[in-house]
Structure 1
Amino acid sequence: MTDAVFHESAAGPRTRSVPLAHLSLELGHLYMEDFEAGPERLRAHFAEVRPWVEAARAAATARAGDKRARVSTCFLVDDYFTRFSTPAEVVPTLLAEAERAGLDIDYLARESGCAVTGGTPVAEAVTARIVESPPPGSHGLRPPVTQTGWLANGERGSVARAPRAMRRAVPWRPPHETAARHHSVFLDVELWSDDADGQRLWSCPLLAAVWQLARLGLLRDEGEAVFSPEPHTATGFPDRWDDLPTLLRLNERADPFAAYRTCSVLPTRFLPVEHAVRVILDQVEVDPGALAQVADRSGTERMAVPAPVADRISYVYCSGP
Structure 2
Amino acid sequence: MNSVSDYSEASADIRLEGQELSHLSIEAGHFFMEDFGSNDDRIKVQLRQVVPQIAAYTAAAQAEFGPAARVSTCFLIDDYFRHDTDPTVILDELLTAAAECGVRIDYLAREAGCAQVPVFVNGEPTARPIELASMMAARVVPEPEQNATGRRPSTMESGWLSNGTRSSEFAVAQAMRVAQYCPPEEFGARNHSIFLDVQLWRRWTERGDGGQVERTQWSCPFLTSIWQLLRLGMIRDRGAVVAQPAEWTGTWPNDWKKMPAVVKLNSEAEPFAAYRAVSILPHTYLSIEHAVRLILDHLQIDEAVYQQVLDRGRVEEFPISVPRAATHRLSHVFVSAVGTT
Whether the TM-score (by the shorter chain) exceeds 0.5 is yes
Q: 174, 190, 215: which one pairs with 1:181?
A: 190
Q: What SS does the aligned partner of 1:36 have?
A: coil
Does 1:317 pair with 2:334?
A: yes
Does 1:74 pair with 2:74?
A: yes
**Partner Cα distance (2:111, 2:155) in 1:** 23
Question: Retained in 2: the 8 A contact 1:160–1:172?
Answer: no
**Partner Cα distance (1:180, 1:292) in 2:** 30
Question: Retained in 1: the 8 A contact 2:28–2:279?
Answer: yes
| Residue matched to 2:265 | 250
Deviations 1:275-298 (A, max 9, x none): 001110101111112111111011
The amino acid of 2:99's aligned partner reads: E
Q: What SS does the aligned partner of 1:270 have?
A: helix
Cα offset for 1:34?
Answer: 0.9
Cα offset for 1:183?
Answer: 0.9
Cα offset for 1:308?
Answer: 1.2
The amino acid of 1:188's aligned partner reads: D
Q: What SS does the aligned partner of 1:263 have?
A: strand
Question: Retained in 1: the 8 A contact 2:310–2:321?
Answer: no
Q: What SS does the aligned partner of 1:82 have?
A: coil
Question: Retained in 2: the 8 A contact 1:23–1:60?
Answer: yes
The amino acid of 2:25's aligned partner reads: S
Deviations 1:27-50 (A, max 9, x none): 122111111314822211211211
Question: Retained in 1: the 8 A contact 2:31–2:43?
Answer: no
C-alpha RMSD of the superposition = 2.3
Do the aligned partners of residues 221 and 161 (structure 1) sit closer, same or farther apart at CA in structure 2, a change above 3 Å counting?
A: closer
Does 1:20 pair with 2:3?
A: no
Do the aligned partners of residues 144 and 62 (structure 1) sit closer, same or farther apart at CA in structure 2, a change above 3 Å counting?
A: farther
The amino acid of 1:107's aligned partner reads: Y
Question: Retained in 2: the 8 A contact 1:159–1:171?
Answer: no
Cα offset for 1:12?
Answer: 2.2
Question: Retained in 1: the 8 A contact 2:168–2:174?
Answer: no
Cα offset for 1:213?
Answer: 0.5
Q: What SS does the aligned partner of 1:53 have?
A: helix
Cα offset for 1:162?
Answer: 11
Question: Retained in 2: the 8 A contact 1:19–1:258?
Answer: yes
When structure 1 is superposed on structure 2, of 26-35 and 303-312 the one drifting more is: 303-312
**Partner Cα distance (2:173, 2:112) in 1:** 50
Question: Retained in 2: the 8 A contact 1:151–1:191?
Answer: yes
Question: Retained in 2: the 8 A contact 1:39–1:97?
Answer: no
Unaligned runs of 5+ in 2: 1-8, 119-128, 207-213
Question: Retained in 2: the 8 A contact 1:32–1:84?
Answer: no
Q: What SS does the aligned partner of 2:304 have?
A: helix
Do the aligned partners of residues 32 and 147 (structure 1) sit closer, same or farther apart at CA in structure 2, a change above 3 Å counting?
A: same
The amino acid of 1:112's aligned partner reads: A
Unaligned runs of 5+ in 1: 1-7
Does 1:232 pair with 2:233?
A: no
Do the aligned partners of residues 164 and 176 (structure 1) sit closer, same or farther apart at CA in structure 2, a change above 3 Å counting?
A: closer
When structure 1 is superposed on structure 2, of 304-313 and 148-157 the one drifting more is: 304-313
Deviations 1:200-256 (A, max 9, x none): 11000000000001000011111111110001222x211111112111000010000
Q: What SS does the aligned partner of 1:117 have?
A: coil
**Partner Cα distance (1:103, 1:160) in 2:** 50
Does 1:150 pair with 2:160?
A: yes
What is the identity percentage for the equivalent residue pairs of Structure 1 and Structure 2? 42
Does 1:114 pair with 2:129?
A: no
1:55-70 equivalences under 5 Å are 55-64=56-65, 66-70=66-70
Q: TM-score, normalised by structure 1?
A: 0.90
| Residue matched to 1:212 | 228
Cα offset for 1:117?
Answer: 0.6
Do the aligned partners of residues 138 and 241 (structure 1) sit closer, same or farther apart at CA in structure 2, a change above 3 Å counting?
A: same
| Residue matched to 1:5 | none
Moved over 6 A (4+): 160-165
**Partner Cα distance (2:219, 2:42) in 1:** 25
When structure 1 is superposed on structure 2, of 311-320 and 34-43 the one drifting more is: 34-43
Instruction: Say how many residue pairs are matched.
Output: 310
Q: What SS does the aligned partner of 1:30 have?
A: coil
Q: What SS does the aligned partner of 2:36 have?
A: helix
Q: TM-score, normalised by structure 2?
A: 0.85
1:31-110 equivalences under 5 Å are 31-38=32-39, 40-64=41-65, 66-110=66-110
**Partner Cα distance (2:240, 2:321) in 1:** 26
Do the aligned partners of residues 172 and 269 (structure 1) sit closer, same or farther apart at CA in structure 2, a change above 3 Å counting?
A: same
Q: What SS does the aligned partner of 2:198 have?
A: strand
The amino acid of 1:154's aligned partner reads: G
